[in-house]
Each structure stands twice: as C-alpha cells, then as structure tokens.
Amino acid sequence: MIVSLPGIASILSYEEIILTTYDDGYGILTIGAGHTAMAGTPKPKIGMKITLHEAFDIFRRDLENYADDVRSEIDVPLSQNQLDALVSWHFNTGKIGDSTLTKRLNSGEYNSVPEEMARWKFAQGQVSNGLVNRRNHEAAMFTSGVYGDRPVVVRQTKGGKIETLSLAEIAELMEDVPARGVENTI
C-alpha cells in the first residue's frame, strides 16, 4: 500500500512549503515541506532558496523514506487511512522504529494508537498547541478516515505571503517527479 493523495495533502497542510531556508522555531534549519538535514540531502543552509518543483522533489524523497519505514516496522494489516496517519506521525516524529506506539500496534492494539500519538505533543520540553492539533488530526485520520480540509500553504519565506495549493495542483506536482511508492491519483 502507498500513501494516498489525501494523506499527502494532510502532511503538507501541517508542514507548509517554505521555499527559503528558515529556523523552525527550535533552532533547526528547514526548507520546503519540513525538510531538515536529518532527513538527508540537501542539507538546508542559511539563505538557500528552492523552487516549488524542487520542494516537491525533496518532499517526495522524504515521504518515500518515511513510508518505507512505516511499512517495514508495522507487522499488522493497515487500512489506507491508518497507513496515511502513521506516515504523517512518523514524518513529524521520526520515531516509528522505537516507539511504544509501534510495539502496541504490532501487538494488535489498534485502539491504543490515538493515545500513543497524543503523547508526542512536546517541542523542547513544552506542550506545543500545533503538535496537539496535529496529533488529534492524525488520530482522527487513523480511527475514522477523517482527513480534514486544511489548506496546503506555500510561502517564499517564513511569514511571507500565503499561496495555497489545491489537490489537483498537488497531484500534478507529485507527478512531475518520478514516484516510488507514493500514490498520486485523486
């Protein structure tokens, strides 16, 4: 199973796409759709700028890696919405391989996933309202298949003018880059 277009849009709605390197608010240089040096190349540097197509190229590679991690770590059957929610959670936390969430889910405790997701609400030791909202959204996606309709925001710089992308535009941008394990049909 591969990540669906609604799943991709959901992840992007929480990451925003920012085309110039910025500090994520916690001292981590970020570019595109939440891409950091921990996710691989390119390594964001101060003053770096990318195009929207480059941002989607980077996002696709990052997403494929996170989706591969979820598929390799989860041993129980998943529905599409469950896979999408877990990829979103892992994309943000990077913890699918060593979390209680994974252990409990692999033991068949599907109902424990929302509770385990909710635990990941801290940024630098403080509760983050943004993470609380994201975890609630991921839990709803996992349990009920509710993806929501948050806009996917694109900015040239952090805090800059907002542009939004439709599902059709996201699908087109995802198709512009060769896919491996990412569904890009509506």
Query: Which are the catalytic amino acids?
Result: 15, 24
**What 3-state DSSP class applies to 138?**
helix
Angle between helical axes of 80-93 and 5-15 (0-180°, round to 10): 30
- Cis ω before 42 (30° cut-off from 0): yes
- The two beta strands, 122-123 and 126-127, are antiparallel
Strand locations in the chain (E):
17-23, 29-32, 122-123, 126-127, 152-155, 163-165
Q: Give backbone dihedrals phi and psi of 18, rounded to 5 degrees, phi first.
A: -120, 125
